[in-house]
Structure 1
Amino acid sequence: MAQPGITIHLTKDPSATVAARVFPYRDQRYQDLKRRCLRERRLFVDPEFQPRMESLGYHELGPGSRKLQGMVWKRPKDICAPGIPHFVLEGMNRMDVCQGQLGDCWFLAAAASLTLYPPLLRRVVPSGQSFQAADYAGIFHFQFWQYGQWVDVVVDDLLPTKDNKLLFVRSPTDDEFWVPLLEKAYAKLNDSYEAMNGGFMNEAFVDFTGGIGETIRLKAPNPKLFKTIQAVLNKGSLMGAHIQVTSLEDREAQTSQGLVKGHTYSITGIHKLTFGDREVRLLRLRNPWGDKEWTGRWSDKSPVWEYVDPELRAKLNVDMRDGEFWMQLKDFVQHFDMLEICHFCPDTDGEGSSHCWDVDCFQGRWVKGHSAGGHQSIQPWDLFWINPQFHVALLGPDECQLRKLQRKEQGHKDPTCTLLVSLMQRDQRRRRNRGKDFLIIGFQIFQLSRAGQRREMLPALRPVSPPSIDYSRDITGYFRLPPGDYVIIPSTHSPFQEADFTLRIFTEKKHQCLEMDEEISAEGKVLQVMKPPMTGQDQRLVEETFLKYAGQDQRAGPAELQALLNQDGSKIVSLNMEGFSAEQCRKLIQYFCQGSQSGKLTLHDFLQFCVRLQEWERIFAMYDMDRSGTMNTHEMRLALEAAGFHLNKRTMEALVKKYSDPWLQIDFERFVVFMTHVEKVFWLCKSRDVSGRGEINMTEKEWMELSTFP
């Protein structure tokens, strides 16, 4: 009777389902650190973001930068002396934000917008912080949403100054410091101030709220734009706009009407007024610099305000010279290119309805050689299929669609489901000091018609929408699809690019979602007791070779096996071998003489090893497709499957890292040890199958510990 195989079903680790409400960033706990400083009567100096040049930057703001000559780290109490600093003075408002010598207007514009929504602001800037002597320890904290969880970031209050003036963001009053400290906390989150140079407002919006970013291209016709902006503001969502630049020389260049190119403006209000016999739709924008305003129609100095009721003009704060200005919608569309919106409770129809969403969040990685297959638009299917894949089952249409179906509205056909997909690449800003930056990323959605192996089924799938792809941290797509099964495939644009990502999936109705991965199993054929098929001349040759190197006890230890394989291995396999190491031979003996007290191979053990060695030689020769004498990770996965082993992505990544060279290549010797390790793991799993059903359950942690040790 054939030996049954073994399948491992993974369950979530119990600890993985327990998430703290807010995680202390780098395990720094604000209250504990503050109490210790107060008890020891000292001011906090942050060991995780020290007041030194490396915290400022790595290039333009790096060590030796001319821009930083004369820079001194100072605490607010020293900057204000003999005055008294305040954390917040007369409340936090959008006028508190004035940009300094750092290209983080996108962050500061988002911070200014955040002040319009006190509940959100209190989450990011916790209350109870001050410079009052009895409570002051030189330590402050802020909270940001980071890829699926909230983190609490601690900072000291040492700030970069020049001539006793803050180098970066400041308040119009010199004694208020909540904004500079917020900027420092965000710089710490990204490893330096310079890492904040350049960005999109939605990146900060999402980090302030955990919401979903949406980008609207203003040059595309959109008759509902004003209504959309009005609905977004009514819902309390954050919003901003910018003018795109086409060259570095164009960045922060001013237009003839006072707008700054490549600069992010926050949208802080909206108003409709009657002007003569027509209705004028106005937007209120703010430049985070606190100056340099729009000078066209409806600007602060525009003569059209003379024809507006003085009481209304005063109410709209015209001519305040504060960086804030009004602009007619048609001028806004003409001059700006992109509108960025962050929804707190996403609403794709813009009608402001309130409802809950069914949400799934996945943390993943694109790993070179394993799951970084590149975008399908430039890559053949034999690479694209290795990208991570997520199966989404849309179980039922939206309620509004069902109501339309019941009313049998004209032109309405099949009911659909709202699917919102948000893809974020993680921590790329933090890699800028190593020459890295954001990648072009994207995702594609295909209708899933049948189950099957990922590699075989993908070419037959039908795409249900154009690919979403962009050079941005976050990409969001809104889709209306019929109920059914779909696969979402996130990818980098080019293959072999590595990054971490977060994928969030929102639907109005209940859905099911899981990451598609290979089943972890071993076929029965690889768990059979090994019986050497060699007879006659071949077996005598192998026996004689073994006895030639074995000791007087007719057993072979690691040194004897190494000499045998490296000097007379050609009598067993025909492949050219560069040579097994002593450590590799030790691992082989450890497996093939299991149960032996001597820790050495007997002739019987060696004959069993030879059977496997010849089988693995056949597989290696078959799947070393380029005849390089080595296997890449793609070839290795195919070879494993041909041998009867099936591993999930995470295990495959760990084992390839363990057994490959620095270029992720596996030669024949490494391949033999790799296969020995995998076979040993599945034999251990088989020994746990006390029921004999060929199936066992393990947590993800248990499986990884078993499959990658020693």
Structure 2
Amino acid sequence: MAAPGIRVRLVGAPGATPGPAVPYGGQRFQELWGRCRERGELFIDPLFDARPAALGYHNLGPYTPVAQEVQWRRPQEICKEPMFIQEGMSRTDVCQGELGNCWFLAAAASLTLRPRLLRRVVPPGQGFAPGQYAGIFHFQFWQYGQWVDVVVDDRLPVRHGRLLFVRSAQSGEFWMPLLEKAYAKLNGSYEAMSGGYMNEAFVDFTGGLGESLSLKTPDPELYGTVQAALRRRSLLGAHIQVSGTQDREQKTLEGLVKGHAYSVIGTYQLDLGDRQVKLVRLRNPWGQAEWIGDWSDSSPLWAQLDPRLREKLTMKKEDGEFWMQMSDFRRCFDALEICSLSPEALAGQEEEEEGGGWSSQTLRGRWVAGYSAGGHRSYNQGSYWMNPQFYVALEEPDAAEGEGPGPAPTCTLLVSLSQCSRRQARRQGQDFLPISLAILKTPYAYLRDVTLRCRLPPGHYLVVPSTYRALDEAAFVLRLFAERTPTAREIRDEIWEDARPLKLTSIPQGFPDADTFQQTFLQLAGPDQQVDAARLWEILNRIVTRRFHLNQELNEAVTGKYRDQGLQLDFDGFVSCLVQLEAIFRLCKERDRNSDGVVTMTQQEWLALVALT
């Protein structure tokens, strides 16, 4: 006999989207390109038109002097023989213009050293040849769990006859200005790109996981961290902080340039008698300035080495590439940014040495005022429990550990929290929210991505992402990288130890009488006869657990219809909420074709059913 209730099993919970890139804004490159070729016309992008709004909203707003002087020109109106790519893509193709987006440009310049990764961002087969040109180009970026394909027309902002923003040292080359325009479209405007960190662009170029390490904080394991990251073919960059625009491009006494992002490309440990020297190899993507201190190309210290080793380490004389001692590296630079590449980004490359790769998992969630935006633990103790919670199981230690005597085996875990689409909100006066993760204590930061690196014993853990302020709303993506495949899932309002599927339960017998509802509601609501989300949850548990077992999503979807602007629910709204719940479960019961008390549906089907009621 079937159970008297009904269980709704949700399948296909949202995570990373596999497969090809999703057309951004529904614009499909091949269709638009074919249509333009057929009609003999050049593409005009209706989603990112050549208007002042595309430039910005404040310093580049429509009524600023710069915006008033801008003209939009196609490449053939700027030079006689434009080319998409001229003699390959290289770091010299990236020359910053009148926009504070050096973080984006530095990442693009560094990516030219990794052609395979760059080809994903800049799809081949584009250009200005008569058989292929239609005024339309496309680029691909990783955005919050999926790749998106962004289409742009080739009208570029020009001021006083020159490109306003990025340009190539080779005047007829346009892949980089068009890439910058596509990224500006993705973020809402060119000005939205002002200010950022190189890792943000690295993540969007690769789908990797970015973390930033302070070089001013003592860390005895830093050199090993750099070596391990290079073995995994991660992208590494270091920069010197600038205090203002006047410091940018200033050269230090030791030959380094402030504000430039240097690529970290190698390490080598020298044994010199009774001491070891740890070296780090760097490259300035702009290739103009090199370190002139100890272990630089002209340093006399190289004379201490065997000639063959000296030749091996110094035979590359490319402009901008040099060695530094680790102690000097930490003294001169302020931060090291590491972008660990996902398994998908590394697919097809030669296998690394043991322990080199990552396994990953991607989860999605959101903070919603009144439901899951609980805020900082220390200042919102009454609501912190409302924040989304994720169960993570680390079953096996890292490959290099776990055998023989020594410290207890541990698992390396990288957890990254990314808030979605906040740059686009700058036009409305919003910016990044301060966000954090709680596994171990981590600081809050006004960054798009916050990453925690930790070494934990094998076991089961709880991850709680939160904003600093309660009621702040945003969607987010939570990603986990581990050497061994982690198990992760969101904990809604259920305990997962019993291995039951995500479910919602109803016992379809008559409602308790209205007096019982009202008496309990007024008892818990207080003098104002209104309840917030926490009190509503308590009432539902006290009255309705005999009938309904609700997860957070259903609670949010249903009660969101009846709450007021203060996120409160009065008694009439409470009754309406219960009536809708009864209707939802009645529809679920009708879908129980096998009369076994279980209905399976996708997330989209479930949301559609809720909307019907």
State if a TM-score over 0.5 links the two structures.
yes
Moved more, 650-659 or 495-504: 650-659
Residue correspondence of structure 1 range 259-658 to structure 2 within 5 A: 263-267=259-263, 269-270=265-266, 281=279, 283-286=281-284, 293=289, 297=293, 316-317=316-317, 329-344=326-341, 353=354, 356-380=357-381, 382-402=382-402, 404=403, 408-409=404-405, 411-413=406-408, 415-445=409-439, 465-467=440-442, 469-518=444-493, 520-522=503-505, 524=507, 527-529=508-510, 611-612=513-514, 614-625=515-526, 627-644=527-544, 645-658=548-561
> Is the Cα contact below 8 Å between 1:232 and 1:352 reproduced in 2?
no
Secondary structure, counterpart of 1:67 in structure 2: helix
Quote the residue 2:48 is aligned against: 49
> Is the Cα contact below 8 Å between 1:297 and 1:304 reproduced in 2?
no
Is residue 2:195 matched to residue 1:198? yes
Question: One-letter code of the match for 1:662?
Answer: Q
Is residue 2:560 matched to residue 1:660? no
Q: Which one of the candidate residues 178, 190, 193 is aligned to 1:181?
A: 178
- Same amino acid, percent of matched pairs: 45
Q: Which one of the candidate residues 130, 141, 146 is aligned to 2:143?
A: 146
Question: One-letter code of the match for 1:637?
Answer: W
Question: One-letter code of the match for 1:392?
Answer: V
For 1:12 and 1:38, how far apart are their aligned partners in 2?
43
Quote the residue 2:165 is aligned against: 168
Cα deviation for residue 28 of structure 1 reads: 1.1
> Is the Cα contact below 8 Å between 1:518 and 1:648 reproduced in 2?
yes
Alpha carbons of structure 1 residues 111 and 15: separation in structure 2 relative to 1, 3 Å: closer
For 1:158 and 1:266, how far apart are their aligned partners in 2?
31
| Deviation string, structure 1 residues 364-404 (Cα, Å, up to 9, x no partner) | 10111100111223331x311111111122333334333x2
* Higher RCO by CA contacts (8 Å cutoff, separation 6 or greater): 2
Count of residue pairs brought into register by the alignment? 587
Moved more, 651-660 or 217-226: 217-226
> Is the Cα contact below 8 Å between 2:93 and 2:176 reproduced in 1?
yes
> Is the Cα contact below 8 Å between 2:264 and 2:280 reproduced in 1?
no
For 1:344 and 1:4, how far apart are their aligned partners in 2?
48
Secondary structure, counterpart of 2:561 in structure 1: helix
> Is the Cα contact below 8 Å between 1:154 and 1:185 reproduced in 2?
yes
- Please state which structure has a larger fraction of its residues in helix: 1
Cα deviation for residue 10 of structure 1 reads: 1.9
> Is the Cα contact below 8 Å between 2:504 and 2:551 reproduced in 1?
no
Larger radius of gyration: 1
TM-score by length of 1: 0.74
How large is the Cα RMSD of the aligned pairs? 3.6
Secondary structure, counterpart of 1:418 in structure 2: strand
> Is the Cα contact below 8 Å between 1:124 and 1:143 reproduced in 2?
yes
TM-score by length of 2: 0.85
Cα deviation for residue 425 of structure 1 reads: 1.1
Quote the residue 1:137 is aligned against: 134
Cα deviation for residue 666 of structure 1 reads: 2.0
For 2:279 and 2:339, how far apart are their aligned partners in 1?
22
Alpha carbons of structure 1 residues 75 and 268: separation in structure 2 relative to 1, 3 Å: farther
> Is the Cα contact below 8 Å between 2:263 and 2:282 reproduced in 1?
yes
For 1:222 and 1:238, how far apart are their aligned partners in 2?
20
For 1:442 and 1:16, how far apart are their aligned partners in 2?
20
Quote the residue 1:241 is aligned against: 238
Alpha carbons of structure 1 residues 12 and 313: separation in structure 2 relative to 1, 3 Å: closer
Secondary structure, counterpart of 1:21 in structure 2: coil
Alpha carbons of structure 1 residues 420 and 231: separation in structure 2 relative to 1, 3 Å: closer
Question: One-letter code of the match for 1:618?
Answer: Q
Structure 2, unaligned runs of 5 or more: 347-351, 495-502
